[in-house]
Structures are given as C-alpha cells and as structure tokens.
Amino acid sequence: MRTKEDIESYLLQAGLPHEEVSEGTWVVGGEDDTHKIVLRLEPPVLVCRINVMDVPHQRKEELFRTLLSLNVRDMLHGAYGLEEDKVILTDALELENLDFNEFQATVEDIALAVVSHHPLLAKFHEPAAA
C-alpha cells in the first residue's frame, strides 16, 4: 500500500509544483494556474479532483449532455461529475499497487482534459454579476 511519503515522492519525481495544505492533501499547480488539482489520501485510494466550473443557471441540460459525452469519448482516467453547484473532474487511484506511471498518467490526463475541453465548456460560462 502506498503511503503519504510515496505520493510526495511521485510529486517530486514528476516535477509538479505542489503544496501540502493539510495532512495527506496536496494542491498541485503553479501560482498562476487558474485550475489546481487537489490530491487527497483517503486509504485505500488517492482521490484526484479539480474544480472545472460553476454550473450555469441556464442551458444546464446542454452542459450535462456535453459532460456525459466527454466522459464516454475523451476520458481515460476519471470523469466529470457534479458537486452542489460545481462541475468537478475526479478520479480515484487504488493505493495497493499504485506506481509512478499510473500516478503521472492520471494527473496528466486530468490536466489535458481541462485544457482541451475548455473551448467546449467555456460557452456555458456565465459572467459574474456586476
């Protein structure tokens, strides 16, 4: 079973800027990054999550259909889901046999999904009220 020290080692080996914000919870990403991946050690899994966007007040059905299509078509690791009024991209990795390659592939897949899906999801963004 992988430990907190193993995850810290994987983060260093991958060269990912990160900060441990509480015991077994890391925020991954540089200071300028809008979206940061949160890794949380919750044995028997490592949970990887990123807050993608707020759920808009309008066109929800179209957004949900888009997210479900992306889950089927584009997501190798993880899936889009909803948590309250947020669209979250999440994955869970089993700690029992987690190796560096699986860890790196998951983190890279999540980061790539956020970048590559941005044009599809940006059309649902609602500007903040003035």
List, for residues 26-44, the tens digit of each pLDDT value.
999 866 556 799 999 999 9
Please name the residues in contact with 100: beta carbons below 8 A apart, sequence gap of 6 or more: 10, 13, 14
Quickly list DSSP for 70-87: HHHHT-SS-EEEEETTEE
List, for residues 11-25, the tens digit of each pLDDT value.
999 999 999 999 999
Alpha-carbon gap, residue 36 to 90, rounded angstroms: 12
Query: What pLDDT is attached to residue 35?
Result: 75
48 neighbors 75 (Cβ within 8 angstroms)? no
Answer whether residue 118 shows pLDDT above 70.
Answer: yes
Q: What percent of the chain has pLDDT over 90?
A: 88
Structural domains in the chain plus CATH codes: 4-121 (3.30.1460.10)
Answer whether residue 129 shows pLDDT above 80.
Answer: no
76 neighbors 130 (Cβ within 8 angstroms)? no
Burial of residue 103 (CB within 10 Å: 0-12, 13-18, 19+) is buried
Has this prediction a pTM greater than 0.85? yes
